[in-house]
C-alpha cells in the first residue's frame, strides 16, 4: 500500500522582521503559519509508513522571497529525511501585479528580502520537488508534470494559475497535453489521478455564486472533459473549504473533486491518501497542536476563534463600535466615512442582529409556529457563524429533520416570495432547497473510497 499526505494553502508568512500583529481580519492564521506548517511536517515525518508529501499550491502567503526561502528549506529537510515531495505553485506564490516586470529595486527578487518572486522563477525554485523526477513535463505551460508515484500509479500535477485574475485554468494546449497523459497512463496500464489548485466542482453551492472566478477556469466543461477522459479524481485547494464532491457526468463517468481546506486556517486539516490495488482511500486529519501562545485553547479552538473573528466583529461592532466597523468596511472597498454617516440606522440594525433569536425571527415573519421549540432560543447570529464555519470544515450537518434545519426551511419559505427577484438574478429559484444545501451535505467530506477503475461512489 502506498500512502501520501496532502497539504494545501500552507500560506507560509515570513517577513524580516516579522510584524508583532498580522491583520486579524484574515481568516487564515498568518503569524502562526510557520508554526502550523512545522507541526504538520513533524506529524508527517513521525508517521512511520508514509512516503510522499503533496502540496497543492499557495505555498506562501504572497510570494515573498523570504517565504519561498523558508518553504524550500523545510522541503529540503523533508527530502533529506528520505521522503518525496511533489509540489505545485499557485497565484499566491508570485507577484501577480507585475507579471514579467522587474521590481523597482533592480535586484533579482531572491536577493532582495522585501521583494516578491516572479512567476517565471517558480518552476526553477521548486524543480527538486516534482519536476526533476517527472516522467513527463508540459512544455505548453512550463509548470505541469506527471509523477510516477510507484509502479502502477501516476499523478498529474497541474498548474492552473492562468492569468491570475479572471481565468485560472488550462488553455487548449495544456488540456491537450493533460488528455494525452491520461491516455498514456491507460496505455501503460497505470492508474492516474490529479492535483491542481482551483476547485473543479463547487465546494459549497454558494461558492460559484459569490466567487465564480475562484473556480477552475471553465470548470463545468473542463471537469466533464477530464472525467470522460478517464480521470477519476482531482485533489484541489484554494477555497479554504473542506469538501468531497462526487458527480457522474451525463456520459456516465464518475468523478470526485477532493477539495482541502487551508492548512493554516480552521479546521487545520490535511488529507491522508492510501492507494491499494484499484482503490484510492482518503481520510482527513487535523494538526494536533502547534508551538506558540494559544491562550489556553486547543489548536482547533484557536483556529476557530481566529476564523470567526471578522464576521463576529462585523456583526458585534455594528451594534457597539461604529469606528471599528468603519475600519472593517475598508476591506470591502466601502469608504469609512459612509459607515460613520449611517451610524444611527447601522447601530439599530446591529443591535437587532445581535439579539434576534430564531423564535423572534419566526414571530417577525409570521411563522413562529413552524420554528421547532428547541430552535427558538438560538441566536440567529451564532447560527449564521456556525453555518459558515461548518461549510469550511466540511461539517454541514443540519438536515431537514433537525430542529435547526426545520427553522431554516420555515424562514426560507417566508422569505422566498419577498426575495424572488434578487434571488433569480443569482440563479436561485428554490430558496428553501438552496438554504438546506448550504447547511446540510449528505456526502461525507472527510472520507471517501474511490474505485480507480470506475464504479459508483461509496460512503462509509
Q: Which residues bind Fe ion (CB under 5 A)?
A: 9, 58, 90, 238
Determine how β-strand 145-150 pairs with β-strand 136-137: antiparallel
**Measuring CA to CA, which residue among 64, 62, 63, 88 is closest to residue 75?**
88
Select 96 or 148, whichever has its Cβ closest to Fe ion: 96
Name the residue nearer to Fe ion (CB basis): 9 or 32. 9
Task: Specify the residue, 195 or 410, whose C-beta has the smaller distance to Fe ion.
Answer: 195
- Residue 378, SS3? coil
DSSP, residue by residue, 98-155:
TTTPPPTT-S-GGG-TTSB--GGGHHHHTTTTTGGG-SEE-TTTSS-EEEEEETTEEE
Shortest Cβ 53–Fe ion spacing (Å): 18
CA distance 441 to 99: 40
What are the angstrom distances between the C-alpha of 142 and each of 31, 115, 149, 160, 196? 32, 23, 21, 11, 15
Q: In 250-406, at which residue ranges do the beta strands (DSSP E only) sit? A: 254-259, 269-276, 279-286
Query: Could you tell me the smallest distance in angstroms from the CB atom of residue 199 to Fe ion?
Result: 10
User: Which helix or strand (DSSP H or E) is residue 43 part of?
Assistant: helix 33-46
User: Which is closer to Fe ion, CB of 90 or CB of 242?
Assistant: 90
| Contact status, residue 195 vs residue 14, Cβ threshold 8 Å | no
Q: With respect to Fe ion, which residue has the nearer C-beta, 27 or 284?
A: 27
CA distance 301 to 137: 42
Residues 78 and 53: beta-carbon distance below 8 Å: yes
Question: Closer to Fe ion at the Cβ: 262 or 407?
Answer: 262
| Closest approach of Fe ion to the CB of residue 337, in Å | 32
* Shortest distance (Å) from residue 13 CB to Fe ion: 12
Which residue is listed with cell 497505470? 190
Which residue, 236 or 326, has its beta carbon nearer to Fe ion?
Answer: 236
CB nearer Fe ion, residue 116 or residue 238: 238
Minimum CB distance to Fe ion, residue 198 (Å): 7
What are 271's strand-pairing partners?
6, 284
CB of 57 to Fe ion, least distance (A): 6
* CA dist., res. 87 & res. 157, Å (int): 8
Contacts of 338 (CB under 8 A, 6+ apart): 329
E-state strands within 223-299: 233-236, 243-248, 254-259, 269-276, 279-286
Q: Which residue's CB is nearer to Fe ion, number 121 or number 161?
A: 161
Q: Is 160 helix (H, G, I), strand (E, B) or coil?
A: coil
Q: Which CB atom, from 34 or from 90, has the smaller least distance to Fe ion?
A: 90
Closest distance to Fe ion from the beta carbon of 158 (Å)? 14
For 83, which DSSP code? -
At closest approach, how far in Å is the CB of 346 from Fe ion?
Answer: 31
Q: How far is the CB of 91 from Fe ion (least distance, A)?
A: 5
Compute the least distance from the CB of residue 365 to Fe ion, in Å. Answer: 37
Amino acid at each position: 500500500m502506498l500512502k501520501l499526505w496532502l497539504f494545501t494553502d500552507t500560506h507560509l508568512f515570513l517577513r524580516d522582521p516579522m510584524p508583532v500583529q498580522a491583520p486579524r481580519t484574515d481568516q487564515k492564521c498568518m503569524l502562526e503559519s510557520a508554526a502550523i506548517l512545522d507541526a504538520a511536517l513533524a506529524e508527517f515525518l513521525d508517521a512511520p509508513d508514509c512516503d510522499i508529501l503533496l502540496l497543492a499550491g499557495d505555498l506562501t502567503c504572497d510570494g515573498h522571497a523570504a517565504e519561498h526561502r523558508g518553504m524550500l528549506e523545510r522541503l529540503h529537510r523533508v527530502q533529506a529525511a528520505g521522503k518525496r515531495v511533489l509540489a505545485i505553485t499557485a497565484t499566491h506564490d508570485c507577484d501577480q501585479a507585475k507579471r514579467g516586470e522587474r521590481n523597482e529595486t533592480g535586484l533579482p527578487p531572491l536577493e532582495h528580502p522585501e521583494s516578491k518572486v516572479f512567476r517565471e522563477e517558480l518552476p526553477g525554485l521548486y524543480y527538486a520537488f516534482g519536476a526533476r523526477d517527472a516522467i513527463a513535463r508540459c512544455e505548453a505551460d512550463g509548470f505541469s508534470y506527471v509523477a510516477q508515484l510507484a509502479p502502477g500509479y501516476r499523478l498529474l500535477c497541474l498548474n492552473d494559475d492562468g492569468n491570475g485574475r479572471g481565468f485560472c485554468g488550462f488553455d487548449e494546449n495544456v488540456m491537450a497535453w493533460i488528455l494525452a497523459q491520461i491516455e498514456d497512463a491507460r496505455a501503460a496500464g497505470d492508474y492516474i489521478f490529479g492535483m491542481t489548485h482551483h476547485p473543479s466542482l463547487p465546494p459549497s453551492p454558494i461558492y460559484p455564486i459569490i466567487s465564480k472566478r475562484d473556480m477552475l477556469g471553465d470548470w463545468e466543461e473542463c471537469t466533464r472533459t477530464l472525467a470522460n477522459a478517464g480521470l477519476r479524481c482531482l485533489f484541489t485547494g484554494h477555497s479554504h473549504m473542506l469538501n468531497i464532491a462526487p458527480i457522474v457526468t451525463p456520459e456516465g463517468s464518475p468523478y470526485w473533486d477532493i477539495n482541502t481546506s487551508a492548512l493554516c486556517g480552521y479546521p487545520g486539516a490535511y488529507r491522508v491518501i492510501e492507494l491499494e490495488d484499484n482503490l484510492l482511500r482518503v481520510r482527513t486529519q487535523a494538526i494536533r497542536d502547534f508551538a506558540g501562545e494559544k491562550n489556553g485553547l486547543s489548536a482547533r479552538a484557536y483556529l476557530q476563534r481566529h476564523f470567526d473573528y471578522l464576521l463576529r466583529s462585523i456583526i458585534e461592532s455594528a451594534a457597539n463600535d461604529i469606528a471599528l466597523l468603519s475600519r472593517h468596511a475598508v476591506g470591502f472597498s466601502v469608504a469609512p466615512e459612509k459607515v460613520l454617516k449611517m451610524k444611527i440606522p447601522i447601530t439599530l440594525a446591529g443591535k437587532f442582529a445581535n439579539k434576534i433569536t430564531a423564535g423572534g425571527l419566526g414571530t417577525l415573519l409570521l411563522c413562529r409556529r413552524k420554528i421547532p421549540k428547541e430552535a427558538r432560543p438560538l441566536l440567529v447570529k451564532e447560527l449564521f457563524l456556525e453555518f459558515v464555519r461548518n461549510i469550511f470544515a466540511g461539517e454541514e450537518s443540519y438536515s431537514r429533520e433537525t430542529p435547526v434545519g426545520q427553522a431554516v426551511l420555515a424562514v426560507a419559505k417566508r422569505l422566498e416570495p419577498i426575495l424572488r427577484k434578487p434571488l433569480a438574478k443569482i440563479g436561485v429559484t428554490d430558496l428553501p432547497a438552496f438554504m438546506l444545501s448550504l447547511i446540510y451535505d449528505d456526502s461525507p467530506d472527510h472520507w471517501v473510497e474511490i474505485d480507480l477503475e470506475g464504479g459508483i461512489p461509496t460512503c462509509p
